[in-house]
Amino acid sequence: MNKKIRIKDIAEMAQVSVGTVDRVIHNRGEVAEDSYKKIMAILEKTGYKPNLLARTLGSNKTFRIAALMPNPAQDEYWEQSAEGVKQAEDEWTQYGVEIRPYHFDLYNKASFASQAQNLLETPPDAVLTAPIFHQEALNFFRTCGEQNIPFVVVNNTIEEGGSLSFIGHDLNQSGRLGAELLHLSNTQPGTYAILHVYDDVHNSLHLNEKEKGFKEYFAEQNGGGFKVISRDLNHTHEPSLEKELNDLLSDASLRGILVTTSKGAFIVSRLIEKKGKNGVRFVAYDLLKENLHYLENGIIDFLINQNSKRQAFIAISQLANHLLFKKDALPTYLFPLEIISRQNLKSYLHTGR
């Protein structure tokens, strides 16, 4: 691994000019058979690595990345995500990467489609998106594919993707983890509930994965004898939600509750607080401000951190690396499933990034 071989060096060895070497490196033709082979051989032998600094400096391009994400004003989870995008922007603007956000309405499929349309009118060099709406996302991905626009996906996968990379969690494992945290040293059999609390529309595929993991975990526990119940709760109609929840809580055999949506956490927390929490373990998702409050006062026992901020940050970085340095991203980048308790919470809030 010799160091510091420049194009110039290659040129000298091959007895040609730098221009010629450059042409074969970017194989844009106009090079004689002979020279081509000769240069290729030397390129191989020396293991030439271009100086990426000089490369991106020299090719004075500027790349545009579009971020098609939910409106951050609608949801703190997506607000954090937007922060991640901004953070990545700070890091990459100096390299000539420009990020344009396109926000769609989290509760409106049509808005996703129309923003996607918007986006494609001035096609960016790459795209980041959270495919909340399955069908609409598929359509969008298809056109991206046709137009050769690389894209990465956060939050939840879409199988038929064609994406450069998926960045997020193993949702099945996530459900299992939730189950484990509820089960922990509750040796007696009992009932465990998994609740999907959502607004108008929701991403059922996404939540199903968690539920599957949750159920698998309890099925695997020796002895069995666990009762697992699952509920879909629409929180826009609060009274019925409250009733449903009260029924649940009055079941004496109930040992634990997992709420799969980040917003659901504090909605359920409120009700639990009202009713009193008697020995039921409660686990939920994400470090939203309200959730932290309920973690601190003991209503929530554990939070699983999905770290939407970092997801977005990494996603943009992958795209930037792809565009600038031609480094390809891992097809799936799974985040650690971070367990947050009262005692390690601070250590997650302080960290620089």
Residue 348 interacting entry, from DNA, a copy of itself, none, C-beta within 5 to 8 Å by type: a copy of itself
CA 91 to CA 152: how far, in whole Å? Answer: 18
Least distance (Å) from DNA to the CB of residue 54? 3
Residue 95 interacting entry, from DNA, a copy of itself, none, C-beta within 5 to 8 Å by type: a copy of itself
The interface region with DNA, picked from 7-15, 187-195, 216-224, 290-298 by CB under 7 A, is 7-15
Strands lying side by side in the sheet with 254-259? 227-234, 191-198, 254-259, 281-285, 302-305, 338-340
Give 265 or 303: the residue with its C-beta nearer to a copy of itself. 303
Give the CA radius of gyration of the chain: 25
CA 190 to CA 218: how far, in whole Å? Answer: 11
Residue 60 interacting entry, from DNA, a copy of itself, none, C-beta within 5 to 8 Å by type: DNA
Q: Figure out which of the listed residues 26, 346, 350, 353 binds DNA, where binding follows CB under 7 A.
A: 26
Residue 181 interacting entry, from a copy of itself, DNA, none, C-beta within 5 to 8 Å by type: a copy of itself
Q: Figure out which of the listed residues 12, 13, 22, 230 binds DNA, where binding follows CB under 7 A.
A: 22
φ, ψ of residue 188 in degrees (nearest 5):
-70, 150
Are the beta carbons of 348 and 296 closer than 8 angstroms?
no
Position 158 contacts DNA (CB under 7 A): no
Give the closest residue to 151 by CA, choosing from 56, 66, 63, 61.
Answer: 66
Residues in contact with a copy of itself by the rule CB under 8 A: 3, 49, 51-54, 56-57, 93-95, 169-170, 173, 176-177, 179-181, 184-186, 217, 281, 330, 333-339, 341-344, 346-348, 350-352
Give the closest residue to 206 by CA, choosing from 167, 171, 258, 257.
Answer: 171
Least distance (Å) from a copy of itself to the CB of residue 296? 13
Least distance (Å) from a copy of itself to the CB of residue 338? 7
- Compute the CA torsion angle 38, 44, 46, 48 (nearest 10 deg): 100
Position 25 contacts DNA (CB under 7 A): yes
Cα–Cα separations (whole angstroms), residue 265 to 8, 102, 125, 305: 61, 27, 37, 12
Nearby residues of 81 by Cβ (< 8 Å), 6 or more positions away:
69, 70, 72, 130, 154, 308, 309, 311, 312
Judged by CB under 7 A, the chain residues 56 through 115 that form the site for DNA are 57-61
Give 27 or 341: the residue with its C-beta nearer to a copy of itself. 341
Position 16 contacts DNA (CB under 7 A): yes
Residue 351 interacting entry, from DNA, a copy of itself, none, C-beta within 5 to 8 Å by type: a copy of itself
Position 46 contacts DNA (CB under 7 A): no
Q: Which amino acid is at 26?
A: H
Least distance (Å) from DNA to the CB of residue 148? 17
Least distance (Å) from a copy of itself to the CB of residue 190? 13
Q: Figure out which of the listed residues 54, 110, 229, 349 binds DNA, where binding follows CB under 7 A.
A: 54
CA 196 to CA 259: how far, in whole Å? Answer: 6
Distance between first and last Cα of the chain: 34
The interface region with DNA, picked from 12-20, 165-173, 176-184, 262-270 by CB under 7 A, is 12-20
Are the beta carbons of 53 and 88 closer than 8 angstroms?
no
Position 117 contacts DNA (CB under 7 A): no
Match 């932290």 to its residue by tokens. Answer: 292
Residue 180 interacting entry, from a copy of itself, DNA, none, C-beta within 5 to 8 Å by type: a copy of itself
The interface region with DNA, picked from 21-29, 77-85, 248-256, 341-349 by CB under 7 A, is 21-29
β-partners of residue 283 are 258, 302
Interface contacts to DNA, rule CB under 7 A: 4, 6-8, 15-20, 22-23, 25-26, 29-36, 50-51, 54-55, 57-61
